[in-house]
Amino acid sequence: MIKTPARLLVLSFCALMACKDEAPASEDRDPAIPSPDDLSCATDLITPLIGELPAVLDTLDIPEPVRVIRPGMAMTEDYRPNRTNIDIGRDGRIARVWCG
């Protein structure tokens, strides 16, 4: 027979193992939440275009998600590390590129 302190230790360990989180299967994942492999955005591709007209973006194959933000435009404040945000300045040119 197991002594009381040892029994408590075994039961505690079993309880902890039952609470262990497991990674969700890929088909169960929320597509709005990026996987650890998708934690970057396309700033490398767009940053060299700062100062250009936004029409140049139509010639590129920018990975989704992408958000083009014009002056005074409302936008959500949710953070998505894989989303490429492209700010258009008041002069109508690409002013800033950032992830989020």
23 located within any domain = no
Residues 2-29 have a mean pLDDT of: 55
Give the pLDDT of residue 23.
47
14 located within any domain = no
Model confidence pLDDT, tens digit, residues 70-97: 999 999 999 999 999 999 999 999 999 9
Model confidence pLDDT, tens digit, residues 30-68: 665 555 555 589 999 999 999 999 999 999 999 999 999
79 located within any domain = yes
4 located within any domain = no
3 located within any domain = no
Domain span at residue 63? Answer: 28-99
Structurally, the chain folds into a number of domains equal to 1
**52 alpha-carbon distance from chain centroid:** 26
6 located within any domain = no
**Nearest-CA neighbor of 42 among 25, 21, 66?**
66
User: How far apart are alpha carbons 72 and 84 in whole angstroms?
Assistant: 19
66 located within any domain = yes
CATH number for the domain spanning 40: value is 3.30.10.10
Longest CA pairwise span in the chain (Å): 81
Q: Which two structure tokens, joined as six digits, stand for 68?
A: 């083009």
